[in-house]
Structure 1
Amino acid sequence: MKGNERLKGFMGEYGLTQAGLADAVNARLLHSGCEGTVSDRTIRNWLSAKTSWPHSRQREALEAVFATTAEALGFRPPLPRLSSDDEPEPPVRRRDFLAATSGAAAAVAVPHVGSACRVGASDVLRLRSGLDALMALDDHRGGHESLKLTALAGAREALEKQKRGATQRIRRRLFSVAADYTATAAWSALDARRTDAAQHLLGRALYLAGMGQDPMAEIRVWNSYAMLAHQRREYREAVDSGLAAQATAMTKRDPLFASLAHARTALGHSTLGDRQAALRSLGCAEEALRRSEPGLPRPSWMDFYGPSELAAITAIVRDRLGDPAAAEAASHRALAGIPRQFRRNRALATTRLALAQLHQRDIDQACATAATAFALMSGHPIPGRLRSLLGDYHRDLITLAPDASVAREWADRYRSEWSRL
């Protein structure tokens, strides 16, 4: 059977591997409330033409990824059975799909070819809805290259539409969308610990946020800058980035954003060993969180933040300040509330719990806890940020208990899991 050359061509044009396309389709399925069940094998069946007409939900998600119809992607629907007195109906033109960025299921509006129509509010809304799909994919498996490339494609799409904006207000909103897509790409690089790429993209995102006059995108960028500074061991800059986040207009409008900014600042102070400043910032974060209103409309990138995430940050601060028992208690609170679909965040909080236990010399329990982080990410590569944290745990383990048998067993497991790309 001849393979599906059209689908193969689209994948090549968009720079997608089989695994990348599976991620993209699954992201769209998750965004629409369906389970993401597409695997590498599913993609192979499509490419070999073993599957000539995908299941309806998978087909719609695939159409959204490439912004075209299934027929244009080389698929053929089964022929209808016609009775002898049936007359063929005139061909029905499929609706034009307003679709996703290249490589993930982000719903980005795509105009008709050759269309000179102006871009309006509905186009902005379609573009923004694509960000939700990307964040759902990030929540599920963490930052990775195909997510970054998809987000950059979304930013390019928004900037191209910005040139045809119907009003100055629409153009500003499209700059804002481009800032969010670029910040998403930067976050993916940050989660993978690709610091040079993250720094470049954050600078671009901050520029676009300014062009869009969007304080919400601005605070997102400063939040990521604070994390980048930690990865680069530039701890004073981490504090400065947290203070910059506190100075944005969003902290005055919504205490939830203020809480996040104070929490990031607390992390910076704790790494510098400034106990008083760290605890003061944590207190401000807790107070702002108490004043925040749940249920207000907020961007999907903020879905991660709330009492559980603040507890996870508190665990880091307390451990760095030399309070491992308090850190362990905070980690348990975090894990009790982090949603199950936030697999990467749960794995990070689990590893932090293991570190707090290790720093109390509870070696057996710490190793058992740390091992569950691998299970949480089963079936997916381990994101760079989590790999780095597990490396920190391993180094502390061999420092504190180099001769313990359970430590040697965990080290063997660690080396085996570490080979996962």
Structure 2
Amino acid sequence: MGENESLNKAMHERGCTQAELADAVNAHLRSRGHEGTVSDRTVRNWLTGKTRWPHPRQREALRAVFECTAEDLGFVPPAAGRAPTTSQEQPVRRRDFITATTGTTAAVVAPVLSSRPTAVGTSDVIRLRSGLDALTALDNSRGGHVGLEQAALAGAKDALDKQKLAASQRIRRRLFSVAADYTATAAWSAVDTRQLDRAQSLLDRALYLAGMAMDSVAELRIWNAYAMLARQRGEHAQAIDSGYAAQTTAVTRRDPLYASLAHARTAIGHSNLGDRKSALRSLGYAEEFLGKASTAEPRPSWVAFYGPAELTAITAVVRDRIGDPAEAEAASHQALSAIPVQFRRNRALATAQLALAQLHQRDIDQACATAETVFGLMSGNPIPGRMRSRLGDFYRDLITLAPDATVAQEWGDRYRSEWSRL
């Protein structure tokens, strides 16, 4: 008996929790005149493999929710009753919303933003959440930009419009949760582009919506972004306070991965204040909690960036800022060997951090060569403001440490050329 990775992946792609899947299955059962008896524990048994072959009515409901067969979802029929899948039972694959061209961000959520005149239920919530995955993938590839922010705000508006037609108070809360996530996505895009005042306004709005939804996962996400915004403003004590707020959200008591992220963000705040002891202590907590996190737990797509590779990248930032550039360089190399290729923006940020660590060890030639590769990594898209700021930090330190070096002057010319192009 093993974990059902196929079901876990399908839930992750749809952005639905165990409770939401249980509701969706029960809604289908009731629409067919059956009693809805599926609970969170039922779904947990499916995920852990304790239940390998659900009841026929449950299998039918799962097929209606995911548009594929039970076998496609990782369930295994008893050997005596196993039957071949017919051509009519082939899975309907999830549409790839992301295109290779720019200027098509609005199309990402277009399939999601269709109005429905009937009462809104769980299936509508799941459909709305699926648009968040596409926006997250776009952010991972090219970073924050105006089109992404606008598409996210359109998704939030659609969720809030639909909550007026919700079939129950529970559905209303879940639609508030969807709206909070879309608004947080828009806020994060503003953080990444360093539109600080707009980011603050959007985060305030997202936190209100998360409170209306009673959604502690969304609250943690928002406090995480607040911490990063405070860092951009140089308000390092406030960044630490935001990290502590993230640590107190209810989800950190249920899922150690979120607790790890909250402690990692707090570690950066401490490092920016030069508090070495507190920074390393927070990093230790982040590592400890991450070691306890399960990979089988369904989570929203926005947090997929966080894991051992990202924590190592954060460790590189913290180590460099507390005066350990050699350790920072080693951590940066380790992070770059593990960050998945689809996280292009994060790989570019880790590369810029590697260049900083090399520069702070006075390895000027290598640092400039490393920093220059950032432009290649982001080729084809404008460099987000947060990354521009990181490269600005590199250039400032470069001309401070080696103002007369030829390689420094050449890199400065490339830096100014890239800036004039963007």
TM over 0.5: yes
2:94 and 2:135 map into 1 onto residues whose CA distance is 8
Change (3 A) 1:186 1:406: same
Return the offset for 1:108.
1.8
Change (3 A) 1:31 1:317: farther
2:99 aligned to which of 23, 36, 45: 36
Identify which of structures 1 and 2 has the higher relative contact order when contacts are C-alpha pairs closer than 8 Å and 6+ apart. 2
Counterpart code for 2:381? H
> Contact conserved, 1:103 with 1:149, CA < 8 A, in 2?
no
Return the offset for 1:420.
2.9
Return the offset for 1:318.
0.5
> Contact conserved, 2:252 with 2:258, CA < 8 A, in 1?
yes
Q: Which residue of 1 aligns with 2:370?
A: 369
> Contact conserved, 2:186 with 2:202, CA < 8 A, in 1?
yes
Within 5 Å, which residues of 2 pair with 1:223-372? Answer: 223-372=224-373
Counterpart code for 2:192? D
2:292 and 2:181 map into 1 onto residues whose CA distance is 26
Aligned pair count? 330
1:151 and 1:35 map into 2 onto residues whose CA distance is 14
> Contact conserved, 2:332 with 2:351, CA < 8 A, in 1?
yes
Q: Which residue of 1 aligns with 2:65?
A: none
Change (3 A) 1:34 1:208: closer
For residues 331-383 of structure 1, give each alpha carbon's deviation from its aligned partner in whole angstroms, at most 9, with x where no partner exists. Answer: 01110111111111111000000000000000000000000000000010000
1:132 and 1:144 map into 2 onto residues whose CA distance is 16
For residues 56-103 of structure 1, give each alpha carbon's deviation from its aligned partner in whole angstroms, at most 9, with x where no partner exists. Answer: xxxxxx8xx8xxxxxxxxxxxxxxxxxxxxxxxxxxxxxxxxxxxx45
1:105 equivalent to 2:109? Answer yes
Counterpart code for 1:124? V
Counterpart code for 2:156? A
For residues 209-262 of structure 1, give each alpha carbon's deviation from its aligned partner in whole angstroms, at most 9, with x where no partner exists. Answer: 000010000000000000000001000000000000000011111000000000
2:399 and 2:326 map into 1 onto residues whose CA distance is 21
Change (3 A) 1:32 1:333: farther
Within 5 Å, which residues of 2 pair with 1:126-205? Answer: 126-205=127-206
Counterpart code for 1:394? Y
Counterpart code for 1:179? A
> Contact conserved, 2:98 with 2:134, CA < 8 A, in 1?
no
2:111 and 2:155 map into 1 onto residues whose CA distance is 9
> Contact conserved, 1:151 with 1:184, CA < 8 A, in 2?
yes
Counterpart code for 1:222? W
Q: Which residue of 2 aligns with 1:213?
A: 214
> Contact conserved, 2:97 with 2:107, CA < 8 A, in 1?
no
Change (3 A) 1:364 1:235: same
For residues 387-408 of structure 1, give each alpha carbon's deviation from its aligned partner in whole angstroms, at most 9, with x where no partner exists. Answer: 0110110010000001111111
> Contact conserved, 1:106 with 1:131, CA < 8 A, in 2?
no
> Contact conserved, 2:150 with 2:186, CA < 8 A, in 1?
yes
2:297 and 2:327 map into 1 onto residues whose CA distance is 31
Query: Percent identity at matched positions?
Result: 69
Counterpart code for 1:290? G
Counterpart code for 2:380? G
Return the offset for 1:31.
7.4
Structure 2: which 5+ residue stretches go unaligned?
Answer: 1-92
1:329 and 1:34 map into 2 onto residues whose CA distance is 37
1:212 and 1:130 map into 2 onto residues whose CA distance is 19
> Contact conserved, 1:175 with 1:209, CA < 8 A, in 2?
yes
Structure 1: which 5+ residue stretches go unaligned?
Answer: 1-29, 41-61, 66-101
> Contact conserved, 2:144 with 2:190, CA < 8 A, in 1?
yes
Counterpart code for 1:326? E
Counterpart code for 1:200? S
> Contact conserved, 1:140 with 1:342, CA < 8 A, in 2?
yes
2:101 and 2:199 map into 1 onto residues whose CA distance is 29
Q: Which residue of 2 aligns with 1:21?
A: none
Within 5 Å, which residues of 2 pair with 1:55-74? Answer: none
Counterpart code for 1:255? P
Is the partner of 1:337 in helix, strand or coil?
coil
Change (3 A) 1:35 1:135: closer
1:324 and 1:413 map into 2 onto residues whose CA distance is 25
Return the offset for 1:269.
0.6
Q: Which residue of 1 aligns with 2:81?
A: none
> Contact conserved, 2:261 with 2:286, CA < 8 A, in 1?
yes
> Contact conserved, 1:104 with 1:146, CA < 8 A, in 2?
no
1:165 and 1:328 map into 2 onto residues whose CA distance is 52
Counterpart code for 1:32? R
1:241 and 1:34 map into 2 onto residues whose CA distance is 33
1:268 and 1:366 map into 2 onto residues whose CA distance is 25
Is the partner of 2:400 in helix, strand or coil?
helix
Q: Which residue of 2 aligns with 1:415?
A: 416
2:276 and 2:94 map into 1 onto residues whose CA distance is 42
Q: TM-score, normalised by structure 2?
A: 0.76
For residues 97-156 of structure 1, give each alpha carbon's deviation from its aligned partner in whole angstroms, at most 9, with x where no partner exists. Answer: xxxxx45336425235xx3x1101110001000000000100110000010011001000
> Contact conserved, 1:382 with 1:420, CA < 8 A, in 2?
no
> Contact conserved, 1:173 with 1:212, CA < 8 A, in 2?
yes
> Contact conserved, 1:351 with 1:389, CA < 8 A, in 2?
yes
Q: TM-score, normalised by structure 1?
A: 0.76
